[in-house]
Chains A and B, each alone.
Chain A
């Protein structure tokens, strides 16, 4: 559980490890299994998520607190957030392609995928639900996206190793990836209630 009276480090730790968005909260699993075949892809996606998530949760925070809340339009939250995120991803893609070709070559193909990545929207929702201040919200989304990158990269390295392992025929592919994720999630559960979080 995260609240606004926690300090920045605790928020980061809780978002990144203890409430890991993939393995404990089960958000954005499609990309978790879909893009973890190779470490390079996983790392690229992770970086793109860090970049987009920090931007979008800041922008949605501002939208929520300076536009939706004062005008009593809370019921438009879902619609506004998803439209803001989709537009933002488009703008970022255009900007990066024009001005940062090197970055575009490594992240470009992942950016469109992020529009439908639930982690970005979920971080925006949760940051608001936890009533975080602006700075804490940024740190929270940094923690969430680092946790995302950490677990997806770890799973991809494990899956690369498993290619040479003798796996039962019917467990190849998705089933064994799920069992691996199960063990990773079990390991992360060991951190629960660390420092009373």
Chain B
């Protein structure tokens, strides 16, 4: 065996060893963190459902998918129907926005939730859709009122972020309309 082959084998083994150790470590980190990420995701979804429909009990939610819309029908301790939670997606300024809408049995909005993880809007502008002040305006509105004030509705747009506000308002309105068609008329 000459010098060159020895060197090649040594280098190959060293590189291979490093790769194996690194990959092993990473696969362990991967399993641990994936579990945590899944736990976080479920906890976050629970929290948002509680926020938009506080009357419903978490363990009594019934999942129902109609034409691609995912509803969670909520019941209180006595088994009475108190409303539904609907997740919708809208296209904002910088990408998709995920909105959780809580709907009263009469088809009015109970509350909406958008966390910072649900969107990618511009800091200082569109990011304000995640503030309580913007989201509280939606409570108690029906589909005729769910428009920006400049379109004769009752929602104040965020200054200099009309596209983000419009995206949220439109998605919530569409959500309410499909709820009336898909759930309300059948109960």
- Contacts from A to B (Cβ < 8 Å): 1, 74-76, 79, 193
Contacts and interface: CB of A to CB of B under 8 A. Distances in A.
B94 A76 contact: no
Nearest to B92: A1
B95 A75 contact: no
Contacts of B29: 75
Interface string B97-120: 000000000000000000000001
Contacts of A193: 93, 163
B22 A75 contact: no
B27 A75 contact: yes
Interface of B: 19, 22-23, 26-27, 29-30, 93-95, 120, 163
Given A1-B94, A193-B93, A193-B163, A75 B30 contact: yes
Nearest to B94: A1
Contacts, number: 16
A76 B26 contact: yes
Contacts of A76: 23, 26
A96 to B, nearest CB: 25
B26 A75 contact: yes
Nearest to A3: B95
* A74, A75, A76: most-surrounded residue (chain B CB, <10 A): A75
A1 B164 CA distance: 14
A58 B163 CA distance: 34
A74 B19 CA distance: 15
Contacts of A1: 94-95, 120
Contacts of A75: 26-27, 29-30
B102 to A, nearest CB: 28
B96 to A, nearest CB: 8
A162 B19 CA distance: 49
Contacts of B22: 79
Nearest to B93: A193
Nearest to B27: A75
B64 to A, nearest CB: 28
Contacts of B93: 193
Nearest to A79: B22
A193 B94 CA distance: 9
A74 B120 CA distance: 23
A118 to B, nearest CB: 21
A79 B27 CA distance: 13
B1 to A, nearest CB: 26
